[in-house]
Chain A
Amino acid sequence: MGEILTSLFVLGLVALLMIILYQNFTEFHTIVNEYGVQRHTIALANVLLTSSDIVYTEDGMQKRAMFDYNKMGLLSKGEFFDKYSYPDAFYIIIVRDLETEENWYTVKNGPMSFEHQNVVQYFKCLGSQLTEAVEIPSIQDLNECIKEDFSSSGGARLSFPVGIRNGDDIHMGTMEIISGEF
């Protein structure tokens, strides 16, 4: 019986020692594995799809993902990104009317927390790949541009179906959002 008690005592002692060691010398850190740029891009795209700046409004009701043809000029101005954008990030938004093949696009960046020169270099690199025909560079090309001038978090490229409404006329379209975070 004495041996049982001794064994239990030793086990208890070891457990107590481990608890004391963990409490005093161990600190846990959580590492979140995620593709942050893509998650941010999805969130921002959802904000854009309901933005009163560009969506069609009828009787005070905002129509999600239904863009107002007459407000599309505001998208090109990029004022939306002054209000909503992640810091140290850039965005290219392209809205295409699939029936008339009309395009609207904007290139904007969020608030930057580092040297302006890097941004200029980046956009020069990007500009060399962005043509007037709105043929946008691939994510690989964008990432190459980012890697040249920044330590990069990478880029994301997503596409969403939208409607473009002009009065009673509704066309099918797409909204493509390309983003990169530095």
Chain B
Amino acid sequence: MKGTIITDAISTIAVIIIFIVLLFTVPKILAEIKDIIVSNSPKVMSRDLAGLATISAASPYTIEINYTNKEFSYDVEFSGRAVNVKYSDPVSTSSEESTSPMAVEISQQFQGVNHITIKRASGNIEVAGYEK
């Protein structure tokens, strides 16, 4: 009888401790997941690439911008005055893709890349995509 009471007390204390630990760790884990989702989303990436391609034209001389994503690979298409980005990782089940407008005209297409280089030299803007 005494043994059962002690076991029950230990069980209750253990569950309470686990819940307290989860209470502190779960929000941090969720914040990290949210951060990963946001910084790797095609919407953010297409917006970044469109902005960088446009602002590269504001450089009077030579400029090279390297944009890397360490988490995922993407299919990136610069077409006319827009850039389209979508996930190309087989592990990703998301079909999310996004198109952002840009002020410069570039036509290039890359598949399964996580590193984009935007280079402006002699007035011309060139983009290249790699898997790193």
Chain B contacts for A38, CB-based, 8 A? none
Query: A125 within 8 Å of B by Cβ?
Result: no
Q: Secondary structure at chain A's binding surface: helix, strand, loop or mixed?
A: mixed
Query: A73 within 8 Å of B by Cβ?
Result: no
Query: A142 within 8 Å of B by Cβ?
Result: no
Chain B contacts for A11, CB-based, 8 A? 18
The answer to whether B55 touches A43, judged by C-beta atoms less than 8 angstroms apart, is yes
For B14, give its contact among A4, A24, A39, A50 (CB under 8 Å).
Answer: A4
Q: How many residues of B contact A (CB 8 A)?
A: 33
Query: B109 within 8 Å of A by Cβ?
Result: no
The answer to whether B51 touches A32, judged by C-beta atoms less than 8 angstroms apart, is no
Q: Which of A8, A27, A30 has the most CB of B within 10 A?
A: A30
Chain B contacts for A1, CB-based, 8 A? 7, 10
Assign chain A's interface to a size class.
35 or more
Given contacts A7-B15, A27-B96, A47-B55, is CB(A52)–CB(B81) below 8 Å? no
- Enumerate chain B interface residues (CB-CB to A < 8 A): 7-8, 10-11, 14-15, 18, 37-38, 41, 43-44, 47, 51, 54-55, 57-60, 80-82, 93-96, 101-105, 123
